[in-house]
């Protein structure tokens, strides 16, 4: 150990010619002291040695900044009113120094992560104006969106802009608000897909019957936690924009902007998507936007929207042709899964349950962690309880099948786990009771459904 410390000291001397061996030795000792105290959350004891290292050897180790953030946040929480401003200044300056001395980690930029953490703590500790906070979030996103991945911070990036918009003092237009919403929701989708790709590797391993390693289980917990956070904050994001994006607001906005954006596929895609999600697809403007998009750049999205248009016109065969074209045009399997799921929803809305299940299953073939596809199938089964089975017992047995699908949704997708489990419990409550099972003598038996469902379910044991 002594030789290792001497080696580190020698490296520091070589890299810092203006410092003496004694200075470097002192920095290493103080680094060890503050790090050990910070690990056990004794931030008060960590402060003095941390300050010494930061002042004398600011480029010694990234722990100066990662632990320093914790130390100063604790100090700020406990500071007297007269001292708060000074500690706030220390905290904000820490992030600037962090970027100066350690802007990367393992060769990848961390600027977006560092700056977004700065902005988030300005919110948490009520430092600065909304305009100042938004400017830092915006800088983080524009400089390094790749490391700006924290769901809470992404949500607050948009929420801060929304607050400025609602105040009427920041010259934020409705168009700017919608553009930023689309940008951030697309970022959420990107991060969600990134997680899904990693989670699907584990799910496929699990489905094959192979035992998951300790590392697999640890990663699964991390993926589930992050997926749930993305789900929560994306729903919060959607709840905010829902207040502003009524058809009454969207249609005039897009009408006034169409001419200048009719050759912009990004704008056309976003406008069509927003109008569809807000049920504005019956307006002639939706037709205009979709046809312009498909003529400009035929894509999975434009073909999907043309499928919707033809469905609304009663051209079922033409709609299906466009839906299939949409799937064909999409090359990314995770985007393909989302397109298939959207098509499944369209068939569900039209009461074509078998077709809806077929597309939901296809979606799961490309993304096994797409829990909402399982939840859609569960809903399809539950809605068929009165149409399947010959006896009352058999009709209600459909709910076991629906509950199984809902629990499957919960097991693969943490972002909808709470809702999926609640749905499963609701369906189980409608299934035959233990008394019914005993009276019918069906314990452990299989109930087969000859309707469109075409499968069976096993009656639970008492």
pLDDT digits over 66-100, tens only? 999 999 999 999 999 999 999 999 999 999 999 99
Residue at which a domain ends, from 102, 123, 155: 102
**Mean pLDDT for all residues in the chain:** 92
Angle at 314 (CA atoms; ends 323, 309), nearest 5 degrees = 50
**Residue 167 sits in the same domain as residue 93:** no
- State what percent of residues in the chain have pLDDT above 90: 87
User: Does 331 reside within a domain?
Assistant: no
Average pLDDT of 372-378? 98
Determine what percent of the chain falls in helix, strand and coil, rounding each to the nearest 5.
75, 0, 20
Res. 12 pLDDT band, cuts 50 70 90: very low
Q: What is the pLDDT at residue 212? A: 93
Q: Which helix (H) or strand (E) holds 128?
A: none
**Residue 150 sits in the same domain as residue 88:** no
User: Does 28 reside within a domain?
Assistant: yes
**Residue 95 sits in the same domain as residue 156:** no
Other beta carbons within 10 angstroms of residue 68's beta carbon come to 25
Residue at which a domain ends, from 229, 244, 259: 244
**pLDDT score of 10 more than 90:** no
Question: 208: Cβ–Cβ under 8 A, 6 or more apart, which residues?
Answer: none
**Residue 75 sits in the same domain as residue 14:** yes
**pLDDT score of 6 more than 80:** no
**Residue 90 sits in the same domain as residue 170:** no
Residues 232-241: pLDDT tens digits?
999 999 999 9
The label of the residue with tokens 């990367």 reads: 104
**Residue 148 sits in the same domain as residue 230:** yes
User: Does 362 reside within a domain?
Assistant: no
User: Does 262 reside within a domain?
Assistant: no
Residues 56-68: pLDDT tens digits?
999 999 999 999 9
Average pLDDT of 167-194? 92
Phi, psi of 228 (to 5 degrees): -65, -40
User: Does 383 reside within a domain?
Assistant: yes
The label of the residue with tokens 């069509």 reads: 272
Residue at which a domain ends, from 42, 75, 102: 102
Res. 22 pLDDT band, cuts 50 70 90: low
Q: What is the pLDDT at residue 24? A: 81
Radius of gyration of the chain (CA): 28
The label of the residue with tokens 């033409």 reads: 318
Q: What is the pLDDT at residue 171? A: 85
**Residue 175 sits in the same domain as residue 231:** yes
Average pLDDT of 164-185? 91
Residues 245-271: pLDDT tens digits?
899 989 999 999 999 999 999 999 999
Q: What is the pLDDT at residue 122? A: 98
The residue that leads in pLDDT, 47 or 278, is 47
User: Does 337 reside within a domain?
Assistant: no
Residues 396-434: pLDDT tens digits?
999 999 999 999 999 999 999 999 999 999 999 999 999
Residues 440-452: pLDDT tens digits?
998 999 999 989 9
**Residue 383 sits in the same domain as residue 456:** yes
Alpha-carbon distance 273 to 299, whole Å? 13
Owning domain of residue 68: 1-102
Average pLDDT of 117-144? 97
User: Does 216 reside within a domain?
Assistant: yes
Question: 347: Cβ–Cβ under 8 A, 6 or more apart, which residues?
Answer: 353, 355, 356, 359
User: Does 288 reside within a domain?
Assistant: no
**Residue 95 sits in the same domain as residue 149:** no
Please tell me the total count of domains within the chain: 3
Res. 23 pLDDT band, cuts 50 70 90: low
**Residue 61 sits in the same domain as residue 152:** no
**Residue 90 sits in the same domain as residue 181:** no
- Compute, in degrees rounded to 10, the torsion defined by CA atoms 46, 51, 56, 58: 90
pTM: 0.86
Q: What is the pLDDT at residue 437? A: 94
**Residue 168 sits in the same domain as residue 86:** no
**pLDDT score of 1 more than 90:** no
């Amino acid at each position: 150990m002594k030789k290792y410390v001497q080696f580190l000291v020698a490296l520091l001397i070589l890299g810092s010619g203006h410092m003496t061996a004694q200075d470097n030795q002192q920095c290493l000792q103080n680094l060890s002291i503050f790090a050990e105290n910070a690990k056990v959350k004794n931030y008060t004891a960590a402060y003095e040695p941390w300050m010494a290292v930061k002042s004398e050897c600011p480029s010694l180790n990234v722990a100066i900044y990662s632990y320093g953030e914790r130390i100063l946040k604790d100090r700020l929480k406990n500071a007297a009113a007269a001292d708060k401003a000074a500690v706030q200044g220390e905290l904000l300056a820490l992030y600037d120094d962090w970027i100066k001395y350690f802007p990367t980690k393992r060769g990848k930029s961390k600027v977006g992560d560092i700056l977004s953490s700065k902005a988030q703590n300005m919110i948490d500790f009520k430092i600065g104006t909304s305009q100042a906070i938004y400017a830092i979030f915006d800088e983080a996103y524009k400089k390094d969106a790749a490391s700006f991945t924290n769901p809470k911070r992404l949500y607050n990036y948009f929420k801060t802009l929304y607050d400025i918009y609602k105040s009427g003092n920041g010259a934020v237009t409705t168009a700017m608000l919608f553009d930023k919403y689309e940008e951030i929701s697309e970022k959420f989708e990107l991060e969600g897909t990134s997680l899904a790709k990693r989670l699907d590797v584990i799910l496929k391993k699990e489905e094959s019957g192979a035992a998951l390693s300790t590392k697999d289980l640890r990663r699964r917990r991390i993926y589930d936690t992050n997926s749930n956070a993305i789900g929560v904050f994306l729903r919060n994001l959607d709840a905010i924009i829902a207040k502003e994006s009524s058809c009454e607001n969207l249609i005039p906005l897009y009408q006034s902007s169409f001419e200048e954006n009719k050759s912009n596929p990004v704008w056309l895609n976003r406008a069509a998507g927003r109008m569809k999600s807000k049920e504005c697809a019956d307006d002639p403007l939706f037709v205009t936007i979709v046809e312009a998009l498909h003529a400009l750049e035929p894509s999975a999205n434009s073909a999907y929207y043309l499928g919707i248009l033809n469905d609304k016109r009663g051209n079922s065969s033409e709609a299906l042709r466009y839906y299939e074209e949409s799937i064909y045009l999409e090359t990314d399997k995770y985007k393909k899964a989302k397109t298939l799921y959207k098509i499944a929803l369209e068939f569900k809305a039209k009461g074509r349950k078998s077709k809806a299940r077929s597309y939901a299953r296809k979606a799961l073939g490309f993304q096994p962690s797409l829990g909402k596809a399982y939840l859609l199938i569960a809903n399809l089964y539950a809605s068929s309880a009165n149409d399947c089975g010959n006896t009352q017992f058999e009709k209600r047995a459909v709910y076991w099948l629906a509950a199984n699908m809902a629990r499957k949704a919960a097991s693969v997708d943490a972002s909808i786990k709470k809702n999926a489990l609640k749905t499963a419990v609701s369906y189980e409550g409608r299934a035959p009771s233990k008394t019914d099972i005993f009276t019918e003598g069906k314990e452990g038996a299989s109930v087969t459904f000859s309707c469109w469902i075409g499968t069976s379910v096993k009656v639970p044991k008492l």
